[in-house]
Amino acid sequence: MNQSRRDVLRISSVLGLAITAGLIKPSDVFAGEWKANVFEAKNLEAAVKALGGEGFVVSKDVTVTGPDIAENGAVVPVSVASAAPNTEFIAILVEKNPTPLAASFTIPSGTEPAVSTRVKMGGTSNVHALVKADGKWLIASKEIKVTLGGCGG
Amino acid sequence: MGNPMRIRASAAGDVVEVKVLIRHDMETGQRKDAAGTVIPAHFIKTLVAKCNDKTVLESHMGTAVSKDPFLSFKFKGGAKGDKISVTWTDTKGDTRTDEVAVS
């Protein structure tokens, strides 16, 4: 086996071992660390504040799409799209959940500022999309009614 | 290593649409098992999607993402044959990468 192949094997196995041994966390390898304080914020205001989005304005450029009534709160399809130029960040928050922030997305240039996913809702609630575009924070919401809550057993 | 993901990536012009279905329990830490013991939280925290070497989406997730997370998004500048890779890492430090070619 030639030397450069040995190097690649050695480096990738050391990286893998280092991650397994807890010496470096996989989050170190990703840009942008997962922040417990935003995901553990217990109400909408605290979550928005933890994200840095307190100065948000309501914007028609941001749309939240989802069912008016979700039969199963454990699996609620939600889509967010932003028509605001230079959208770089989208966060989905379920207001009445014990911890409102469901997910956040960093949008590199070239990626359309629109994401679709499925979230758990504990009960009927507003679902908010908090978006950062051109350094400004925008928000839009939709109320989704839930017949069977999806957070606990 | 976690369960395999299903990734579909299709190009229409230079816009590639990516749909990912991940197999993961996404436990909230609020459920109890039959014996009444709390099932500990276990969920995906970070996800990165790349087209060849360029990151096309990064996501941070919490317990409110549904079990077996679904994700769909589009990006420009991809072409048929490009490699889409998706990597996730969860609260146990488990990580998984799957790849697919844009069709």
Average pLDDT rounded to a whole number, residues A110-138: 97
Token pair listed for A39: 């995901």
ipTM of model:
0.95
* Size of chain B in residues: 103
Check B55 against A101: CB less than 8 A apart: no
Within 8 A of A39 by CB-CB distance, chain B residues are 60, 62-63
CA atoms of A41 and A148, how far apart (whole Å): 24
Check B75 against A32: CB less than 8 A apart: no
pTM value is 0.86
CB B67 within 8 A of CB B26: yes
- What do you get for the CA distance between the two ends of chain A, in Å? 54
* Size of chain A in residues: 153
> Which among B16, B28, B70 is the top mutation candidate for probing chain A, defined by the most A β-carbons within 10 Å of its own β-carbon?
B28
CB A151 within 8 A of CB A115: no
**What pLDDT score was predicted for residue A65?**
98
CATH number of B6-30+38-101: 2.60.40.10
| Nearest chain A CA: its distance from B86 CA (Å) | 12
CB A140 within 8 A of CB A60: yes
Within 8 A of A51 by CB-CB distance, chain B residues are none
Average pLDDT rounded to a whole number, residues A97-118: 97
> In the predicted model, is pLDDT for residue A23 greater than 80?
no
Computed on alpha carbons and rounded to an integer, the radius of gyration of chain A in Å comes to: 19
Four-CA torsion A106, B84, A119, A67, nearest 10 degrees: 100
CA atoms of B92 and A44, how far apart (whole Å): 27
Average pLDDT rounded to a whole number, residues A129-143: 97
**What pLDDT score was predicted for residue A147?**
87
* Structure letter (DSSP) for residue B8: E
Calculate what percentage of chain A has a pLDDT beyond 70.
76
> In the predicted model, is pLDDT for residue A2 greater than 80?
no
What band does A148 get if pLDDT is binned at 50, 70 and 90?
confident
**What pLDDT score was predicted for residue A14?**
55
**What pLDDT score was predicted for residue A20?**
54
CB B62 within 8 A of CB A102: yes
**What pLDDT score was predicted for residue A152?**
54
Parts of chain B with a pLDDT under 70? none
> Which among A17, A120, A128 is the top mutation candidate for probing chain B, defined by the most B β-carbons within 10 Å of its own β-carbon?
A120
The residue among B56, B1, B51 whose CA lies nearest residue B23 is B1
CB B84 within 8 A of CB B101: yes
